[in-house]
Amino acid sequence: MNATLSTPAAPRGEQRARAFDDGAAPGERADGGAGPIAKGGAPLLDLRGIRTGYGRIEALHGLDVAIHPGETVALVGANGAGKSTLLRVISGLQPLTAGTVTFDGDNLNRRKAADRVHRGIVQVPEGRQVFAGLSVEDNLMLGAFSRRRDKGVADDLEAMYQRFPILKEKRRLHAGNLSGGQQQMLAMGRALMAKPRLLLLDEPSMGLAPLIIEEIFGIITELKREGITIFVVEQNASEALAIADRGYVLETGDIVATGSGEALLNDESVKAAYLGG
Ligand code: ATP
């Protein structure tokens, strides 16, 4: 990454990411977070000064990230940059050493993972992690576990089959029999059954063939059009930034650039580092 994107002299965690001018309203963000606001109002998710690590090794050095209702935000960065760690922080699976996670105005720092799911923070994990020995339908129903008394679940299952007809066709099969792309659809369907207010996608393109990747990003674009708030984490930066309202570039635990998906896609140093020139 080009040094002009951050301030190398600043201590870790106090580096200021370069915010790309993308035609958004000029001036500082009202909430003080990094990056321009694509959609107004208070953020749905507001991460401030996030620090965490593994043992004595710090993996995230004081990040600020804000996601507004209805936005699709991409977090891109190389292998080991800390992308999955940040998602684990949001889901409540990774303890903080500093900072705050605020969702819909509530401080979630002391809230457990299950409580966060209940509030609508739902993650599609890296590598799908479907239950291979359970049927496709049982996998989908597990997504609705936190709302199992909700009478709308049967209708939602039918809606999921409309969205993913291949899952209806294969609903009685073990999930382990599905192809990688179908498993990704199942993992997304399972998350949608939980009625997410914030959908976290960890490397949805990982290990998939190019045509299937197109299909998966097509599905994410549909979800975006439906107004679901999405945070997508990807090594496949070009695909992710192309569908994102805004993006953040993460480099070894620091946000080094932020801006609209389009501005980041067109930036020379982002191109050189993450888009194959
Ligand atoms: P990838 O795309 O490979 O998953 P990433 O950007 O998601 O990469 P993380 O998995 O969040 O990166 O890793 C960030 C840093 O934390 C890396 O240096 C990694 O080696 C380290 N790390 C991640 N998980 C652990 C763990 N369980 N124990 C120790 N170190 C870890």
Give 199 Cα–ligand 1 centroid separation in angstroms.
21
Average pLDDT over residues 214-238: 94
- Cα–Cα dist 43/23, whole Å: 20
For atom 25 of ligand 1, the residue with the nearest CA is 54
Q: Which residues line ligand 1 (CB under 6 A)?
A: 54, 59, 77, 79-85, 235
What is the reported pLDDT for 32?
A: 38
What value does the mean pLDDT of the chain take?
Answer: 86
For atom 18 of ligand 1, the residue with the nearest CA is 80
Give 50 Cα–ligand 1 centroid separation in angstroms.
15
For residue 176, the SS3 value is helix
Average pLDDT over residues 209-226: 93
Residue that wins the pLDDT comparison between 34 and 107: 107
- Cα–Cα dist 158/165, whole Å: 10
Which ligand 1 atom lies nearest to the CA of residue 126?
A: 4
SS (HEC) of 66-112: EECCCCEEEEECCCCCCHHHHHHHHHCCCCCCEEEEEECCEECCCCC
The pTM for the full model equals: 0.86
Residue 165 pLDDT level (bands cut at 50, 70, 90):
very high
Report CA torsion sign: 132, 135, 140, 141. negative
Q: Which CATH superfamily is domain 40-274 in?
A: P-loop containing nucleotide triphosphate hydrolases (3.40.50.300)
Q: Ligand 1 pocket test: which of 54, 249, 250 has the largest number of ligand atoms within 8 Å of its C-beta?
A: 54
What is the reported pLDDT for 21?
A: 54
Average pLDDT over residues 186-192: 95
What is the reported pLDDT for 128?
A: 78
Residue 31 pLDDT level (bands cut at 50, 70, 90):
very low
Give 59 Cα–ligand 1 centroid separation in angstroms.
7
What is the reported pLDDT for 3?
A: 31
